[in-house]
Structure 1
């Protein structure tokens, strides 16, 4: 076998001969080749760059790559002096350039390359002066190589820090690792020789900042894999030990299958005496080839007698007889004082083990009276990129050791809270709160009692935005809120300028799918709740404008807010969460005995998505007439008659706590509505009202015989799929759909820590208990639950029945693809990801929820032009109403 420089020159010559290099293309030599050093893997030190090109906030998910109009970057070869059209390039064009990697590190197990690039010839200062932070976002491409020096194919794990999309040779990968989580890397087999890597570089202000030069920094890391089941993360996720007791029983270990065959995890055993674990699995636990999965289990012995938990994972090749192999994992127990912040674990609704940091009330915490009222929960929501167990988070309230509250620091499952403390992330908050009573029982707590229904919520930065979300969506649980340096909404943070042009109706639908996160439009839900805002005047991360705006809007909504702007302070400083204003606010609110909402004689409820909206004043909207538009109820209380009256707008149904209904009638939209009850039955907790099409408002459940209703967890835009109970199931057929199923699984775990089982419909139809993804090509789409569903296939055509009953037909050409929700039983959902062929299927698959702020309505039909037009290339998009019919506000070409 040849060695050193001669070997690499042979590889490069062969690569050029096969068409992988242009005659003007500079050679890309791996580090160490010149010195005659041979490593199993090596990245090239020189990279070819092409850009910059225009991109809008979170637009990359839709495609929107101008080079796709001419076949894509992958079809281009380096040519010095060649020009390509770009709206932000000088003279409207850009050229190739060369870049040397900042660092190349290569050793016996792998190689890594770090790249840093910017485009100083672009007048970013002027551009920003016109378009603000939106102008500091752009996209570009980088091309390099990875060399495999072995004499046979190697299984390689590739990490792609801060990268969203890339190609290796002729294979496309979307999802990458935009936040550098390093949770679910690509597993790939690489043959000996050179392999081209094309990396799409996307600059995002929210992720990369809006201060100084708009550069992009990425890191690629390739490591040899075992080719079998291996640990994806060192150790075990488990609770801390307090008072010699494990704080909670749930634990998890994450494994990766780096082999080429599916592996079944047979069992988990504990090798410690006096300790046992329970691998709770009612179905086969399969880790597909290339997949990363968390394995949840329970630790049954909660008084550990050893310094560590040592477990053995038994596994074998799926459907292959024989003795199982073992994978050993160990984790030291962490011991904490029961009164200090410590880790508790619990099961997220999505079936994964999550954790939070809990600080119980100290022995000195007291109301200083004879009252023995339960203490409320103080929720502290962390900012983007922080783990809940980091010192910055867990010690943020150390200067308030005797606060009369149960202090809880949730994770939101990931350092970015999965989806900005919204759907998946907020489910984690609620699960963390529900876990505290289990902790009380487990450790036999003798201190202050707990009230899980009274929350004082606070958070910094993204956690401040999460505070606004909690306040506007769950107002009846909030006794006070303190958003610190928080932004108002995704759209207000970095404006949605510089997207590719599209029909205004399309843009409106994209915005409507994010209505639930426009907190500036939901401020009326805050009325009656005390709010303290704090922001640094010199904040260059989240401008103080956000807090100033919310303060103004709260005032205009006749709500109250104290606002403190700290002169000379930036985004973060030591003690930011315990300034004198915040300390006073916390102490006053946890001792308050009143429910501020109960004193209101008039208030309003504004709802974007009933699926994530709780009660306000004992009233909750359960259905909107037209999804994608805001609903509203104005509530007034007649002090003379002690009766409520309701005025509604775009509301189909709502429910009221029975205790508020003191008369056999109520007034809705100026009409008396009779409220009847069955005296032979206990009164219901809630009384429901719905708008009948011909008879006006009626008391009782929404009743339309023969109609399949959309309700509960099914409500919302495409991200409603994340509201699952149990792990996801990704169903596919053999062939081209299997790789897309694996990629979706990888993205779900990367960005949400969400677990998914990949199921081949040719062999296994087990759908599990959670929501389902169905991946399909051509005519092979499983029938849905609703035989009258408005989207179906006829041959190679996609047909949609619109709100007027007309059939909109889209022929299976020009890269036709679609992604849409379908109903399942028990409030479950199915997300269909379909393409007429494999290339078009990718267009739909990249719209599976991953990054926040993308804007995905209930259904989208795409054409191949989406690759360069972005959302403007969609030929249909819109929403389903309460009976799974297409709304009249939907868009069709």
Structure 2
């Protein structure tokens, strides 16, 4: 670095520079950073540039079209013997943001830049530290690249670094995103970077235990979770957990018999080798945390003393291949509350880790109809950045405490509901609903039962958007819905403008990858469901246009809806969820006795992703002919017409008589209620490997795992680091669990049920299907296009990411690189942030690093038989037949 750097005047072990060198700004579109699209990569990348105040770089944003270096002082720098941090605010006065915003809207105040600083490590020994990167997605430490960061400042899984004494260069890619930073504020990028000394061995990634509240002396649920991190340089195996008077061994005894309680006492460890919902999904003798990994450890808690104020345990562990053991202590204060107040209830997410929801059972004074034995569930979905146990969330429905319903406040796993209440987040919602019967048993509930298949859905902001998702994707379970201040779709909230110039066919593929979340296209699905919309008239966070627009679409679709726009109210106010209109709606719909699924004489179904979509009117779309396009079903009585539909499933209770599909008479009972409406013969279909169920959808379908992810990688340092990075990102953004294995053998994953992520270099990928359309080799990748021609890309292909089928309706996401740099490029698009739009397969060329999706050689979708669709883009390479 240059002498311009300034250091805090203190002799501490860790110190960040107070002066940073910033280069920018450059344009970037909504969520485009995942695809690369960094113009500096065309000249070797920011990491290879030295500070030069005279240098200039072409950019579309600043005056004169020129971006330059500037020097920025940190707002605050602090240092100590165990921590150091620096906070900065980067902005650009040489850009006419106001005028750009008039033309392009909020998309105009999104941009990217780079910042360089230094971290000094004092002393004479290597230091083990975690690096916190609030609001940063991508960075380099010395010559090591990291992608994922901590864009929403969750602080769950920071990378663990082992740094020698001296100076370490820190390069940060700054990506301003309206969803994270806001659209009406000054367009600055505000970030915090911090290091904290670690133990260099096993430690708590988060203090305490994720566990249920104690309601009237009983645990609401016995399931708990401890978040652990291996901050050392060797892999660690957990041996036992013990309370003050009991031990709990992770032995191999009984592991193949389903859930097995290994010991008795205050805490019991659950193992389930068959279902991959284990507490410990490593070797038979325990769970493995590879060096640098963070994992949630599931346990079963038993409350011995109803009046206990806290619980405490000791975890025993050892490094792999070592007989010496060490211990770690963990404790948790207990929250005691009344059974009728909102309280925390834990349960297992389908991904195999513990999640929680806040539950409010029906009140004692609820006056419900005497003929009713079961009450519906009122789902209240929180907005972005909020925890479900926040009083702002749970207290919002206090004015309707005597409602005849089970009120459930799901988390969606994270404060950002994992993925905007979509795939991973909505699986959490359904798991929470299905956990209520177990809660009834746990606490000895004697009140009215729950009807888990009848939902009233409401939510605010991002939760309002989640309400639209529920309406359009689970219509046969929705009694009624009240979306409040929600946005219509990701693209309507912040337009996808200012991406790098791209062939519209490529743009269409990214857009089609998000078809399932474009709610304005799915309004036909909500016909017959009572809907009460609400929005503040002067909302400057989610513009009221979103609700007005959807109200119009509901009207055009013939839906049963009301729209209430509240004058002089912004995005949030104290009674936003209990206005007179909403209170009336809640009480009215809690008494709604419509039989579900509703029998409708005339209705339509629009499907973007059958893997996400439930049934409508007793009809479920199982497969599309081309998943890059919407599928449509139009029903009039017993006459059905379809577009882009491969197969349908009929509810035998609603569909018993002969029906006509596209002019052909069909008896659903002859097909065990499943009807293929495509033109291919039954014989041809039976010979094909079919894609169905949880395998359907774009690359985000890999999130439909049943059990912890299995990440397997080639035996190289670079592949190992990327496997750890993917595990860290999955935990950071989804709180997901993953096992990491240094092997590419099919045999290593046969005992699990989780989806697989495989990192392969060159010709190391095993088990390639002979007829599969994507094939990778030592230094090449090929794709069979929709015409049956195999396009060979040779050295043009630097990396690839593609789905392929695994047993038991599982998916494998293959990440391939011709070298480690190409593998890094492929690993960027593992699902993490919403709105990125990852299709089923992508083959990266070198220029994708700066041209984004325009630098992709092939991208698109696989159809129901795993063939490349005609809507895909497959550039011409060397053609083989």
Q: Normalising by the residue count of structure 1, what TM-score does the alignment of the two structures yield?
A: 0.93
Corresponding position of 2:771: 788
* Distance in 1 between residues matched to 2:304 and 2:468, nearest whole Å: 38
Matches within 5 A, 1:687-726: 687-693=673-679, 704-726=685-707
Report SS of the residue matched to 2:686. Answer: coil
Alpha-carbon displacement from aligned partner over 1:488-508 (angstroms, at most 9, x marks no partner): 000111001100011111000
Q: Is the 8 A contact 1:645 1:668 kept in 2?
A: yes
Question: Deviation at 1:272?
Answer: 5.9
* Distance in 2 between residues matched to 1:200 and 1:888, nearest whole Å: 36
Report SS of the residue matched to 1:158. Answer: strand
Alpha-carbon displacement from aligned partner over 1:540-597 (angstroms, at most 9, x marks no partner): 0000000000000000011121001111000011111111110000000011112386
Corresponding position of 1:276: 267
Question: Deviation at 1:661?
Answer: 2.9
2:237 to 264, 269, 273: 264
Q: Is the 8 A contact 1:529 1:597 kept in 2?
A: no
1:733 matches 2:714: yes
Report SS of the residue matched to 1:730. Answer: strand
Question: Deviation at 1:794?
Answer: 4.2
Q: Is the 8 A contact 1:270 1:277 kept in 2?
A: no
Matches within 5 A, 1:513-524: 513-524=513-524
Corresponding position of 2:79: 106
1:669 matches 2:642: no
Corresponding position of 2:552: 552
* Shift in CA distance, 407/342, structure 1 to aligned 2, threshold 3 Å: same
* Distance in 2 between residues matched to 1:662 and 1:811, nearest whole Å: 55
Corresponding position of 2:868: 886
Corresponding position of 1:253: 226
Alpha-carbon displacement from aligned partner over 1:47-80 (angstroms, at most 9, x marks no partner): 1111110000000001111111111111111111
Q: Is the 8 A contact 2:201 2:231 kept in 1?
A: yes
* Distance in 1 between residues matched to 2:691 and 2:240, nearest whole Å: 39
Q: Is the 8 A contact 2:477 2:596 kept in 1?
A: no
Corresponding position of 1:680: none
Corresponding position of 1:531: 531
Corresponding position of 1:770: 754
Corresponding position of 2:497: 497
Corresponding position of 1:17: none
Question: Deviation at 1:787?
Answer: 3.4
Q: Is the 8 A contact 2:745 2:766 kept in 1?
A: no
Corresponding position of 1:594: 594
Question: Deviation at 1:26?
Answer: 4.2
Corresponding position of 2:279: none
* Distance in 2 between residues matched to 1:281 and 1:600, nearest whole Å: 43
Q: Is the 8 A contact 2:756 2:813 kept in 1?
A: yes
* Root mean square deviation, CA, Å: 1.6
1:31 matches 2:8: yes
1:131 to 104, 107, 111: 104
Corresponding position of 1:807: 790
* Shift in CA distance, 662/190, structure 1 to aligned 2, threshold 3 Å: closer
* Distance in 2 between residues matched to 1:558 and 1:762, nearest whole Å: 53
* Shift in CA distance, 862/56, structure 1 to aligned 2, threshold 3 Å: same
Report SS of the residue matched to 2:864. Answer: coil
Report SS of the residue matched to 2:131. Answer: strand
Question: Deviation at 1:276?
Answer: 3.5
Alpha-carbon displacement from aligned partner over 1:1-24 (angstroms, at most 9, x marks no partner): xxxxxxxxxxxxxxxxxxxx3xxx
* Distance in 1 between residues matched to 2:174 and 2:678, nearest whole Å: 52
* Shift in CA distance, 290/676, structure 1 to aligned 2, threshold 3 Å: closer
Matches within 5 A, 1:50-199: 50-199=23-172
Corresponding position of 2:196: 223
Question: Deviation at 1:110?
Answer: 1.1
Q: Is the 8 A contact 1:268 1:279 kept in 2?
A: no
* Distance in 2 between residues matched to 1:624 and 1:787, nearest whole Å: 24
Q: Is the 8 A contact 2:454 2:596 kept in 1?
A: no
Corresponding position of 1:364: 365
* Distance in 1 between residues matched to 2:129 and 2:570, nearest whole Å: 43
Corresponding position of 2:337: 336
Question: Deviation at 1:370?
Answer: 2.8
* Shift in CA distance, 724/560, structure 1 to aligned 2, threshold 3 Å: same
* Distance in 1 between residues matched to 2:353 and 2:34, nearest whole Å: 26
Q: Is the 8 A contact 2:606 2:633 kept in 1?
A: yes
Q: Is the 8 A contact 2:229 2:289 kept in 1?
A: yes
* Distance in 2 between residues matched to 1:794 and 1:209, nearest whole Å: 44
Question: Deviation at 1:789?
Answer: 1.2
* Distance in 2 between residues matched to 1:523 and 1:28, nearest whole Å: 57
Corresponding position of 1:753: 735
Question: Deviation at 1:599?
Answer: 4.9
Corresponding position of 2:404: 404
| Structure 2: tracts of 5 or more residues without a match | 247-264, 274-281, 876-881
Corresponding position of 1:479: 479
Question: Deviation at 1:172?
Answer: 0.8
Corresponding position of 2:811: 829
Corresponding position of 1:779: 763
Q: Is the 8 A contact 2:218 2:303 kept in 1?
A: no
* Shift in CA distance, 107/560, structure 1 to aligned 2, threshold 3 Å: same
Q: Is the 8 A contact 1:727 1:770 kept in 2?
A: yes
Question: Deviation at 1:275?
Answer: 2.2
Q: Normalising by the residue count of structure 2, what TM-score does the alignment of the two structures yield?
A: 0.94
1:43 matches 2:3: no
2:835 to 850, 853, 856: 853
1:449 matches 2:449: yes
Q: Which moved more, 1:324-333 or 1:522-531?
A: 324-333
Q: Is the 8 A contact 1:275 1:304 kept in 2?
A: no
Corresponding position of 2:845: 863
Alpha-carbon displacement from aligned partner over 1:87-116 (angstroms, at most 9, x marks no partner): 112111011111110011111211010001
* Distance in 1 between residues matched to 2:866 and 2:382, nearest whole Å: 37
* Distance in 2 between residues matched to 1:361 and 1:675, nearest whole Å: 40
* Distance in 2 between residues matched to 1:167 and 1:63, nearest whole Å: 14
1:575 matches 2:575: yes
Corresponding position of 2:626: 626
* Distance in 1 between residues matched to 2:205 and 2:669, nearest whole Å: 58
Question: Deviation at 1:469?
Answer: 0.3
Report SS of the residue matched to 1:779. Answer: coil
Q: Which moved more, 1:764-773 or 1:203-212?
A: 764-773
Corresponding position of 2:856: 874
1:234 to 207, 219, 231: 207
* Shift in CA distance, 82/676, structure 1 to aligned 2, threshold 3 Å: closer
* Distance in 1 between residues matched to 2:155 and 2:306, nearest whole Å: 31
Alpha-carbon displacement from aligned partner over 1:712-767 (angstroms, at most 9, x marks no partner): 00000000000000000100122221011011111100101011111011799532
1:838 matches 2:820: yes
Report SS of the residue matched to 1:163. Answer: coil
Q: Is the 8 A contact 1:239 1:249 kept in 2?
A: yes
Q: Which moved more, 1:52-61 or 1:803-812?
A: 803-812
Q: Is the 8 A contact 2:200 2:231 kept in 1?
A: yes
Q: Which moved more, 1:653-662 or 1:495-504?
A: 653-662
Question: Deviation at 1:269?
Answer: 2.4
Report SS of the residue matched to 1:226. Answer: coil
Alpha-carbon displacement from aligned partner over 1:181-207 (angstroms, at most 9, x marks no partner): 000001011111111101000000011
Alpha-carbon displacement from aligned partner over 1:324-367 (angstroms, at most 9, x marks no partner): 21111000111010000000000000001000000000001122
Corresponding position of 2:435: 435
Q: Which moved more, 1:471-480 or 1:212-221?
A: 212-221
1:327 matches 2:311: no
Q: Is the 8 A contact 1:611 1:713 kept in 2?
A: yes
Q: Is the 8 A contact 2:231 2:291 kept in 1?
A: yes
* Distance in 2 between residues matched to 1:857 and 1:129, nearest whole Å: 32
| Structure 1: tracts of 5 or more residues without a match | 1-20, 638-643, 678-683
Question: Deviation at 1:694?
Answer: 5.2
Question: Deviation at 1:281?
Answer: 5.7
